Every structure is written in structure tokens, then in C-alpha cells.
Amino acid sequence: MISRTLETRFESLSVNDNKNDPSDGKTTYLKSKTIASLSTQLSQSSNQSNYLLKVALENNSNSPLRKPAADSARSKGSEESADASKNSYPTSKAPPATPKQFHLGMFEIGRPLGKGKFGRVYLARERKSGFVCALKVLYKNEIRKGGVETQVRREIEIQSNLRHPNILQLYGHFHDSKRIFLILEFAGKGELYKHLTREERFPEWKAAQYIAQMAQALQFCHKKHVIHRDIKPENILVGTHGELKIADFGWSVHTPSNRRQTMCGTLDYLPPEIVRQQWYSAKVDLWSLGVLMYEFLVGRAPFEDSVVLTHRRIVRCEYDVPNFVSREAKDLIAKLLVVSPEMRISLEELQEHPWIVKYCIDGERASMRKSKKTSGKCSSDSPSNQMISGVSE
Ligand code: AMP
């Protein structure tokens, strides 16, 4: 199974090839006015949006991430044996119950939302329900050339089975001969990285609420034996209500054994155990959360330096926190950036830390937000309907 080409893997999934879809040729580009009203509709209407979710739920009913207990009986140790994607679609005996089939003709395509290394992301609307989503188009030959078949498979298998307000939802996927299409939740406020660059650094109340949301999302992942392994601002999007959405699961892994030894992720955010190529566990995400918290408050990563020096500073845990950072925030950073993984604060303890409690539970903003019933426990901005303008091809 591992040696099967990407094409073959996707052929084994129950998807429609858009070549066969008579409505494919009718794909149109949304006009700006239409999409602006769609965006409002997205934030107001939950009924219509249920359609894609229902379809996605039907399609994912056989996922191994829904049955962690059964998974833990599977072989442990090697990377591929622990990979969720390997077990997701039974090959012969028990095919998934006839899934609903997605195809390109089901969508109207709007403005480009962004460009990644292997494709583009467009605003899209499902014709039947009017549901607004993001359609990520990946080119199979580029994925093959880049040797990232495994990452793409992981992104699809893992992300489509994690349903949490702070995790970008993957509703489904389909393909044609050249492309793979991922139907994603639309994150109305774009990349967190851009917000951080614009603001230079976040005020403590906002950083605390963001960290609390990340902690809740990671707690949910870890309970399902998923380690993210690549937490950084570039992999986080911001939803319409200002809530964070972990978006990139390309480096994540489903690991019932809870122990791994692959070097991955971005150097600035890597914990000492990965830099040293030792065995590691879900605690890697706690270290990265510490780096993220530091970057939110200071505006740069704590170990940023030349490659050699970053490496050295990480394994020695050498960093300085500027004086403008509060004592409570420094204390939490120090509890996350601990060389010994077992000594790092847990996600449960983090959520009870005085710095988090101050801004997410006791804080005036938090109580205001509670009454407004936003999606996460804590969110960062006042809810607003985002209007999108200037839609064009
Ligand atoms: P990616 O290929 O996933 O790195 O996506 C490229 C860019 O498209 C991102 O940096 C975002 O600006 C944008 N983007 C991706 N997914 C979404 C989404 N679900 N909602 C809004 N914008 C997105």
C-alpha cells in the first residue's frame, strides 16, 4: 500500500472525477456583490451550512480517528504503521457505506484566497446549499515532484476527522486526473501570521486568549492521538469571529503508540528532543506552544539566530524575555520551554495558569464574550460580519 502512487490512492477513494460531470463546464466565478452577501450568510446561517458537514460526516463514518481504542491494537513503532491515513480506507473487505460524491460542478468558484507551495486556494460556494467554503486545489504532478504525497494524505485523513472550533474543518475532497480538491472551512480573517506582522506583537489579553484556544485544540488532537508537530503562526488561520483555526496538518501524525522519532517542522519551533533526534511524544506541541506564546508577546521567536546557533540555543534552552512582558506570562513561557518533555506543563494545567485565567476567565473581555456566545471558550476579537469585496477571477 505504501508503494502505491498517489493517483492510485485517490482512485481508491469514492470520488467523482469531474471529467464525467456534465455540469463541470458551467463552473463560474462569483461576482463581488454575491460573495459579500454570501459571507454574511455564512456567519448567520447554520442550517444551510449543515449540508456539507452532513455529507462530510457520512463520508468519514469509517475513520480510524473516531475509534482510537480499536487503533491502539494496531502495530506500534514504525512511522507508517502509526500513520492514520494507511488505515482509513479499507481496501477490500469493508468498503465505506456509499459516500456522497463531491465534484467540481457542485461549486461556484470565487476570488483566490491565497497561494501555497503546491496549489491555490479559492473562495467557493456549494451551489445547492449556498454554503461558502474554501477550495484548495493541489496539482498531482507538483505533489509527486515535491515528494509530499505522505503529507497530503495526512492532511486529508487527519484534518477531515478532527472537528473542533479551533481546527480548520476539512469537509471532503475529490480529484480529477491532474488535481486534488480539498473542501475547507473558510477562515474569514485570513492568516494569523499577517495579523502578527501587522501588529508587530499582540497585547497580553489577546495572546492569552489565542494560547487558550490553541491549548483547547491541541488537547482535542492529543486525546485522539494526533500530534501536530508544526505549530507556528504560518499554520494558523483566523476565523470570521477572530477565533484561531489550526490549518496545516501536513506534518501531523496519528500515533496510537505516542512515541515517534522523525525530524520535521521548522527549526525555530522545534523542541530539543526533535533537534537531538530522540524519541518524542505529544509534549513536542507544548514546547511549540511556548515558542508561539513568546512570538505573540515579543514579535519574534525566542531562539531566532543562524541555523547553527538556533540549534544550540534550543538544546540549551537559552532565551531572554524582554521586560515589557508580564511576570505571569514569563512564568508560563518558562513552564512550556522546558528541555525535559515530562517536566513541561500539561495542557490541562496551562488552562488553569493565572495568566490564562486572568484574561480568559476573570477578564472583562472574556465575560463580554461569553454573553455573545462565540464558538471557542475564548476568542480574540469582537464578532463581526466580514464583507468581502473585489471578487474577480
Ligand atoms: P496553503 O496552500 O494551505 O498554505 O494556503 C495558501 C494561502 O491561502 C494561505 O496562506 C491563506 O492565506 C489562504 N488560505 C488557505 N486556506 C484558507 C481557508 N480555509 N480560508 C481562508 N484562506 C485560506
The verdict on residue 308 lying in a domain is yes
Check whether residue 245 and residue 97 sit in a common domain: no
Residue 76 in contact with residue 153, Cβ under 8 Å? no
Check whether residue 162 and residue 252 sit in a common domain: no
Atom of ligand 1 nearest to the CA of 116: 2
Domain count, the chain: 2
The confidence score (pLDDT) of residue 147 equals 87
Mean pLDDT for 82-89 is: 32
Check whether residue 324 and residue 276 sit in a common domain: yes
The confidence score (pLDDT) of residue 234 equals 87
Check whether residue 232 and residue 127 sit in a common domain: no
Alpha-carbon distance of 260 to 280, in angstroms, equals: 5
Out of 184, 211, 229, a domain closes at 184
Give the list of residues 6+ apart from residue 30 with CB closer than 8 angstroms, or none.
38, 108, 109, 110, 111, 123, 125, 391
Out of 129, 154, 184, a domain closes at 184
User: What's the pLDDT tens digit per position in 339-356?
Assistant: 999 999 999 999 999 999
Cα 190 to middle of ligand 1, angstroms: 7
Check whether residue 76 and residue 7 sit in a common domain: yes
Q: Which range, of 45-49, 79-83, 259-263, averages the lowest pLDDT?
A: 79-83
Rounded to 5 degrees, what are φ and ψ at 123? -70, 140
Alpha-carbon distance of 13 to 32, in angstroms, equals: 35
How large is the greatest C-alpha to C-alpha distance in the chain, in angstroms? 63
User: What's the pLDDT tens digit per position in 87-125?
Assistant: 332 333 444 444 568 999 999 999 999 988 788 999 999
Pairwise pLDDT comparison (369 vs 235), residue with the higher score: 235
Domain of residue 262 covers 192-385
The confidence score (pLDDT) of residue 320 equals 97
The confidence score (pLDDT) of residue 89 equals 29
Check whether residue 200 and residue 164 sit in a common domain: no
| Percent of the chain clearing pLDDT 90 (strictly above) | 48
The confidence score (pLDDT) of residue 20 equals 34
Check whether residue 128 and residue 82 sit in a common domain: yes
User: What's the pLDDT tens digit per position in 228-287?
Assistant: 888 999 889 999 999 999 997 766 555 544 444 344 446 898 899 988 888 878 999 999
User: What's the pLDDT tens digit per position in 303-328?
Assistant: 999 889 999 999 999 999 999 999 99
Looking at 88-169, which runs of residues are DSSP E strands?
Answer: 107-115, 119-126, 132-139
| Percent of the chain clearing pLDDT 70 (strictly above) | 62
Rounded to 5 degrees, what are φ and ψ at 301? -75, 150
Residue 194's pLDDT band (cuts 50, 70, 90): very high
Check whether residue 29 and residue 61 sit in a common domain: yes
Residue 16's pLDDT band (cuts 50, 70, 90): very low
Give the list of residues 6+ apart from residue 385 with CB closer than 8 angstroms, or none.
39, 40, 43, 44, 240
The confidence score (pLDDT) of residue 229 equals 84
Mutate to test the pocket of ligand 1, among 35, 113, 118, 386 (most ligand atoms within 8 A of CB): 113
Check whether residue 237 and residue 284 sit in a common domain: yes
pLDDT at 193 exceeding the cut of 60: yes
Residue 274 in contact with residue 265, Cβ under 8 Å? yes
Check whether residue 229 and residue 146 sit in a common domain: no
Q: How far is CA 354 from CA 172, 293, 332, 361, in A?
A: 40, 15, 9, 10
Mutate to test the pocket of ligand 1, among 121, 148, 266 (most ligand atoms within 8 A of CB): 121
Nearest CA to ligand 1 atom 19: 186
Map residue 223 onto helix, strand or coil: helix
The confidence score (pLDDT) of residue 153 equals 86
Atom of ligand 1 nearest to the CA of 194: 12
The verdict on residue 390 lying in a domain is no
Mean of all residue pLDDT scores within the chain: 73
The confidence score (pLDDT) of residue 368 equals 53
pLDDT at 379 exceeding the cut of 50: no
Catalytic residue among 83, 176, 230, 381: 230
Out of 184, 208, 242, a domain closes at 184
The confidence score (pLDDT) of residue 260 equals 40
The verdict on residue 158 lying in a domain is yes
H/E run at residue 294: helix 284-298
Q: How far is CA 143 from CA 117, 119, 178, 234, in A?
A: 9, 9, 11, 20
The verdict on residue 133 lying in a domain is yes
The verdict on residue 392 lying in a domain is no
Cα 257 to middle of ligand 1, angstroms: 31
Q: Within 13 A of 64's CA, how many CA atoms are on the CB side?
A: 24
Check whether residue 138 and residue 203 sit in a common domain: no
Mean pLDDT for 139-153 is: 88
The verdict on residue 379 lying in a domain is yes
The verdict on residue 267 lying in a domain is yes
Amino acid in the structure at residue 73: A
Check whether residue 301 and residue 361 sit in a common domain: yes
Cα 296 to middle of ligand 1, angstroms: 20
> What is residue 174's DSSP assignment?
E
CATH of residue 258's domain is 1.10.510.10
Mean pLDDT for 199-216 is: 97
The verdict on residue 393 lying in a domain is no
pTM above threshold 0.75: no
Atom of ligand 1 nearest to the CA of 193: 10
230 noted as active-site residue: yes
3-state helix, strand, coil in the chain (%, to 5): 45, 15, 45
CATH of residue 77's domain is 3.30.200.20
> What is residue 235's DSSP assignment?
G
